[in-house]
Amino acid sequence: MRIKAIKCENCNDIVYSRAEQDYRECECAQVGAFGGQSHAKYNTHSGAPHEKMIISLDITPQDLYNDWKEMRDRYGLIKATSTAPIPKYITC
C-alpha cells in the first residue's frame, strides 16, 4: 500500500495518519500527520524543515484502521533509528 507521510528533517522520523481521527507526531514534535490516508493533512511547528513523501508498506487500509482503533501503535511512526528499508516513491 502506498502511504502519504511526512519526514521531520530535525529528528528524521517519518509519520503518517492511520485513520481520520488519528494524529501522529514525530519524536521531537515538530511535524505531525492527521486525517487518515483519504484526507491526509500535515502540520509543522514554526516552519520546521520537513519532506512530504509517499512510501510503500506491506499493509492494508484495514490494518491501519485496526491499529489505530485497538491502540496497538505498530504503525504511524517510523523512527529514525529503524533499520527497516522504506521504499519511497514520490517526494512532494
Domain carrying residue 34: 2-91
Segment 48-70, tens digit of pLDDT: 999 999 999 999 999 999 999 99
Overall pTM surpassing 0.95 (yes/no): no
Comparing CA positions, the residue from 3, 76, 67 lying closest to residue 37 is 3
How big is the CA angle at 51 (ends 26 and 68), to the nearest 5 degrees? 40
Distance CA 73, CA 23 (A): 12
User: For position 44, what pLDDT does the model report?
Assistant: 93
Segment 7-46, tens digit of pLDDT: 999 999 999 999 999 999 999 999 999 999 999 999 999 8
